[in-house]
């Protein structure tokens, strides 16, 4: 199984990615092991969608990135976003 995920940090900034294991990938982001998110966390997953193939996941990841910052992106993550507890 492959996943597309959206992370959010404490400042409300988002990162979109894909992987096979979201729990391990989140740990990597929060350990500053990922260059694009280094020293910008901590992060939490606010959106996750599963796909059967890596190709499908990458297509959705790229589509989601094209929405980033727009109303479609805000609505999509707003529908899935869990409140901070």
Domain boundaries, the chain: 2-80
DSSP structure class, residue 17: E
Choosing among 3.30.420, 1.10.3470, 3.30.70, 3.40.1440, the CATH entry for 2-80 is: 3.40.1440
pLDDT per residue rounded down to tens, the chain (85 residues):
999 999 999 998 999 999 999 999 999 999 999 999 999 999 999 999 999 999 999 999 999 999 877 787 877 777 666 554 4
Task: Classify residue 48 as left (phi > 0), alpha (psi -120 to 50) or beta.
Answer: beta
Position 85 scores a pLDDT of 42
DSSP structure class, residue 70: S
């Amino acid at each position: 199984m492959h996943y597309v995920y959206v992370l959010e940090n404490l400042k409300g900034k988002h990162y979109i990615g894909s992987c096979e294991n979201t729990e391990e990938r989140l740990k990597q982001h929060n350990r500053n092991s990922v260059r694009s998110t280094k020293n910008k966390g901590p992060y939490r997953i606010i959106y996750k969608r599963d796909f059967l193939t890596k190709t499908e996941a990458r297509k959705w990841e790229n589509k989601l990135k094209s929405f980033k910052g727009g109303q479609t992106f805000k609505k999509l993550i707003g529908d899935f976003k869990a409140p901070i507890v």
